Amino acid sequence: MKPSLIVHGGAWDIPDEQAAACQAGCRRALEAGWAMLSRGGAALDAVEAAIVVLEDDPVFDAGTGSHLNLDGQVECDAIVMEGASLRAGAVAGLKRIRNPIRLARKLMENGPHMMLAGEGAERYAVAQGFSLCAPEELVTAAERAAWKLCREGKHAAAHHRGHDQGTVGAVALDGMGRLVAATSTGGTCCKLPGRIGDSPLIGCGCYADSGAGGVSCTGYGEGIMKIVMAKSAVDLLRRPVNAEESPADLAMLAAREAVRLLVERAESTGGLILLDCEGNPGYAFNTPRMAWGVVQPDGSFRTGL
Interface with ligand GLY (CB under 6 A): 165, 167, 185, 187-188, 197-199, 218-221
Task: Look up residue 118 and give its amino acid.
Answer: G
C-alpha dihedral over 57, 60, 291, 7, to 10 degrees? 60
Q: How far is the CB of 243 from ligand GLY (least distance, A)?
A: 37
- Collapsing DSSP states into helix, strand and coil, what is residue 217? strand
Q: How many residues are listed for the chain in this entry?
A: 305
| Contacts of residue 8, Cβ cutoff 8 Å, sequence gap at least 6 | 26, 167, 168, 169, 170, 216, 218, 271, 272, 273, 283, 290, 291, 292, 293
Task: Look up residue 161 and give its amino acid.
Answer: R
* Pairing assessment for the beta strands 88-94 and 115-117 based on DSSP bridges: parallel
Q: How far is the CB of 103 from ligand GLY (least distance, A)?
A: 17
Q: How far is the CB of 253 from ligand GLY (least distance, A)?
A: 23
167 is catalytic: yes
C-alpha dihedral over 54, 59, 65, 70, to 10 degrees? -120
Closer to ligand GLY by CB, 3 or 221: give it. 221
Closer to ligand GLY by CB, 230 or 275: give it. 230
Q: Which of 64, 140, 167, 188 is catalytic?
A: 167
- Give the end-to-end CA distance of the chain in Å, rounded to a whole number: 29
Closer to ligand GLY by CB, 64 or 218: give it. 218
Q: How far is the CB of 94 from ligand GLY (least distance, A)?
A: 13
Closer to ligand GLY by CB, 37 or 262: give it. 262
Catalytic positions, written as ranges: 167
